[in-house]
Every structure is written in C-alpha cells, then in structure tokens.
Amino acid sequence: MNGSFQKAILRKAKLKSSGMTCVCLNTREIYLATGSVDISTDPPDIGKVDVVRWRDVDGALHCFSASKVWDTIRYRQTNVLWYSVIWFAQNIPRHAFIAWLLMKQILKTQDMLKPWDINLNGSGGVAVCNLCQLQPDSNTHLFFESVGSDRASESVSGGCCQALFAASMYFIWQERNARLFSNKSITSDQLFQIIFSTVLYKLLSLRFKDSVQVWQLKMLWKIT
C-alpha cells in the first residue's frame, strides 16, 4: 500500500475536534489499511488456484477463516483467575451467567441501587438484606455472609464444586428476588435441597469415563 493512499485513509478516519464524526470505510480500504489480508503482486500462475490468506497479530499467515479473523480483531484482556470456575463444559448457562455477574460485582443489589434513590424494601432508604434482615444488602454479604445463605453455601464444600458454586449463587439470587418482589420465601434447608437436586439431575445427564475420581464422585452423590 503506497503512502499517499494510507494518508488518505487516515484523513478520512480522523475525528473532528468540534464533534464526533462517523466515517465509513469500504471493505477494500479496511483490508489495505490493516494489512491483514495478503494481496500478492506476483504475476498470476494459471496452474494455481487463488487463495485468500489472513495475517494474524503475530504476523503469521493462515488460510482465511472467520475464526482466524475473529481471533485477530477481538478485544483482548488478561484472563482472570476465576474464569474456569464459571465457564466450564458442563455448566448450566443461566447459573454460570449469574455467577459471572457476581464475580464481576455487578449484580444489582440494594447497595448499588441506593445512589439512584430507589427504595425497594420500604425501609426508609436503609438497604437491608432480605435473607437475614440484619446487614446491608450487597454482593458479598448476600452470597457469603447472610444467615439465609450459609446452609446453601455448605454444599460447595462437597464434590463438583464448580456446578455447586454456580447453582448456589443462582438460587440464592432467585430466593432474594422472590422475597423482595413477591413476598415469598422458603427455608434454608429447602433452598439447599433445591440446589442439591438441580446439580444431581445435571450429573445424571452426563456420561462419565471410568476412573477413580469418577467412582468417588458417584459414591459421594449416590449415583448408580
């Protein structure tokens, strides 16, 4: 790509200081600007078939594919230590999503809604946990400190910790919302049984390879 053409693209993409301007570049301009698509200037060889190749972030050429393009242009960030706890092959998607929101500390507990002057529990602006009615409602307290969640959290100490952790977070959040918005509640023992049964049914739907660890897991969960 010659220098004048590159400068022309940069001028088109420049944002004016007086206001944001959206500039559309056509496909060829993007390819030429990024240099990711290998466009050979060698004379054509009649005996060969044209092949489009993609240059990745390390400069290596690959056969063009959507996966290679996505891996090159995707937003990258350092892996967090807890990612394997949430995202694993046997997870239950809705459980994993709530657990992910919890780990990101972005579940909308009442302490996060307080700056918006939203009074959900009618307590004069005091955000109280709906499980224990003792401490302020927050991500940390709701899932790890509340009297109502301690029984459910005990399940995580057993086998299949990943599935149990995600299921515990999901059903604790469901119980919190039921008490807050529907004025319905169950006991901590009932909550534990729901978590235990859900994970057990998930285990029963899986196929296991024979190993010592699998045998111990089946014995722990009484799976035959």
Give the residue with greater pLDDT, 38 vs 217: 217
Contacts of 222 (CB under 8 A, 6+ apart): none
Confidence of residue 173 (pLDDT cuts 50, 70, 90): very high
Q: Give one DSSP letter per residue of 12-23, joined into a string.
A: HHPPPTTS----
More confident residue, 30 or 136: 136
Find out whether 37 and 53 touch, Cβ atoms under 8 Å. yes
Measured CA to CA, the distance from residue 117 to residue 47 in angstroms comes to 73
Least confident of 32-41, 98-107, 122-131, 141-150: 32-41
Mean pLDDT score, 3-19: 48
Residue written as token pair 């394997």: 84
What confidence tens digit (pLDDT) does each residue in 66-89 have? 888 888 888 888 888 888 888 888
The DSSP secondary structure of 105-162, one letter per residue, reads: T-S--HHHHGGGT--SSSSTT--B-TTTSSSB--HHHHHHT-TTTHHHHGGGGSS-HH
Indicate the SS3 state at residue 62.
strand
Contact 187, 205 (CB under 8 A): no
